[in-house]
Structure 1
Amino acid sequence: MNQEQKEYISLINQSKKETVLIKKTGWEEVNLSEHEHQKHQIIYTLSGTLHIQIEESNYFVPEKHIAWIPPGSKHILSSNNRRVSLVIFYLDLSGKTNEHPYRDFSVYSTHNVVAENLRFIASKGPVIQQSEFPDLYDFTLSFFRLLPTINPHMENLLKTKVIPNDERIRPVLEYLIQHAHENLKIEEVAERFGFSVRNLSRLLHDSGIHFNRYLNQQRVTRAIELFTDGKKNIQEVAYEVGFNTPNNFNRVFKQLTGMSPGCYGREIKKGSLV
């Protein structure tokens, strides 16, 4: 984290409760070490994708999605895309927002109405103060308080790293993340880490993990990153992330995202996932 970023985090923590801060990033790399602040942070991935680590859980935020980070949550921001553009809102949503879902980390998809409101609010930044613009300030808080109720919640799909119940399988999960593009079989992985297939399957199951589904989640996550970069076609992406045929890739991608890779790519290009 550079000095400018440290100073901005300090500015957030020192800002008044009745102040909304808005930060827009250009086309730049994202790699922020662990930090926290005392306001809600809402990140809109305008271009590129984002990984957010909170404790030992890693969440994936695709392009044109929203990450909701509660105050006091220590988190790390990074991206595997070369260039990322974000719009970030910092505001105090205390009071009734101490209850679920406001106090929990979440990832949301968006639609046109939400995106237009995000653009409108962002255009009024970098600071919205209640004392200067009371109506705009009230609208901004009302909009973000409604946000969790008007957007589909996607945490289950996009949680790409989990905390295992048994420390023995932690290196196994790390290995699956790093080698998801390979033709991995549970028999080979079990032998590599000194487990029987039955024992490894049981340990994974006890942590709520299914071997093939976990592997496919890592592959689909990487595929979305590659689609966002826009340099490879569907067939090239399918083979690069570890599927043996494009048809198999299409089937798994649709199972996990609700749409085919081709449809996802077209929606991103025309902006209707905004």
Structure 2
Amino acid sequence: MDNKQYVDKYYMTEVDSFEDSIYCHHAMMGENFIAEHKHNKDQFLYTEGGIVFLKTEEKSYFLPARHYIWIPAGTKHSIHPSSPEVVMRNLYFPRFDTDTAFYKKVNIYPVNDLLIEFIMFTNRWTGNIFPVEEPKYSIAKAFKLILPEISRTELPLALPYPKHDKLKDIVKYLEEKIDENVGFKTIAKEFDVSERTLARLFQKELNMSFIQYYTILRMLTALKLLLDEKMSVNEVAMRVGYSSLPTFSNTFNKIIGVRPSEYVKNKNLLL
């Protein structure tokens, strides 16, 4: 697939050239990194052939197979694919009078079979689609309109960035000792803070509890490890600090929406 338009940085110059158009682009990344930028249009991003990390000013998002991310207009973001061969399927939409609160926040959602079919249908479109181009424009607009109806489950595949210096050190410590199942009391003692202060720090700075943050960190790490074909589910469970495979599997299912064994079984089909 030709990646010339990525080299020309289409997303910096062409997406917002016409205020009322819907812009469509399917292409191999061709890059290891897309620098921070923003659009005047909302962005739908679905990837194939690998995984993508997307960073905003507030959070770091992990976009696995069979999921899409919605990026509202004006959101500064950078894109970090697992390889230049990742295929990005992008649709950029202008604001519509019918837009609801759904379209105003960055979120990751699973993709069902209906949306897969719709995404593949859009593969025939390239560049701007103007309102006068009917029925193409109405079909493209319908793509945006159906998203809230079929995207009922938000996946917490994101972690906020800590700004507090001590919390930065704590998060780094958790990442480095991900295989040790570090407890809350251990962290408080290691960093010489009271448990009450530590709990308040996580809630105030990251808007989530220690256990919520640590669980998501472990599951995101597990997702990365499961994409390495050399590692079994049991090995991954141990690498993220779970001595019980059923507990790991149940937690993974609760956060990601499928069991790790299913994810491994399906990943070659999904990527």
Shorter-chain TM-score tier: 0.7 to 0.9
- Provide Cα deviations, 1:231-268, integer angstroms capped at 9, x if missing partner: 32212222223323433322321232343211222243
Runs (4+) off by over 6 Å = none
User: What residue is the counterpart of 1:49 in the other structure?
Assistant: 51
Contact 1:25/1:85 (8 A) holds in 2: yes
Pick closer, same or farther for the CA change 1:131–1:187 going to 2, 3 Å.
closer
Task: Identify the range of structure 1 (31-40 vs 220-229) with the bigger mean alpha-carbon deviation.
Answer: 220-229
What is the RMSD of the two structures over their aligned residues, measured on CA atoms?
2.9
| Alpha-carbon shift at residue 205 of structure 1 (Å) | 4.0
| Alpha-carbon shift at residue 68 of structure 1 (Å) | 0.7
Gaps of 5+ in 1: none
State the AA in 1 paired with 2:107. Answer: S
Pick closer, same or farther for the CA change 1:161–1:259 going to 2, 3 Å.
same
1:24 matches 2:27: yes
State the AA in 1 paired with 2:218. Answer: R
Contact 1:54/1:73 (8 A) holds in 2: yes
In structure 2, what is the Cα distance between the partners aligned to 1:58 and 1:241? 19
In structure 1, what is the Cα distance between the partners aligned to 2:32 and 2:196? 40
Partner of 1:181, secondary structure, is helix
Contact 2:39/2:74 (8 A) holds in 1: yes
Task: Identify the range of structure 1 (67-76 vs 44-53) with the bigger mean alpha-carbon deviation.
Answer: 44-53
User: What residue is the counterpart of 1:116 in the other structure?
Assistant: 117
Contact 1:250/1:260 (8 A) holds in 2: yes
Pick closer, same or farther for the CA change 1:255–1:181 going to 2, 3 Å.
same
| Alpha-carbon shift at residue 230 of structure 1 (Å) | 3.1
Task: Identify the range of structure 1 (138-147 vs 248-257) with the bigger mean alpha-carbon deviation.
Answer: 248-257
In structure 1, what is the Cα distance between the partners aligned to 2:24 and 2:58? 28
Paired positions, count: 266
Identity of aligned residues (%): 24
Partner of 2:16, secondary structure, is helix
| Alpha-carbon shift at residue 67 of structure 1 (Å) | 0.6
Matches within 5 A, 1:95-244: 95-97=97-99, 99-122=100-123, 124-130=124-130, 133-155=133-155, 157-161=156-160, 168-206=166-204, 207-244=206-243
Gaps of 5+ in 2: 1-5
State the AA in 2 paired with 1:251. Answer: N
TM-score if structure 1 supplies the norm length? 0.82
State the AA in 2 paired with 1:176. Answer: L
In structure 2, what is the Cα distance between the partners aligned to 1:9 and 1:25? 17
User: What residue is the counterpart of 1:254 in the other structure?
Assistant: 253
Pick closer, same or farther for the CA change 1:186–1:48 going to 2, 3 Å.
same
Contact 1:65/1:108 (8 A) holds in 2: yes
TM-score if structure 2 supplies the norm length? 0.83
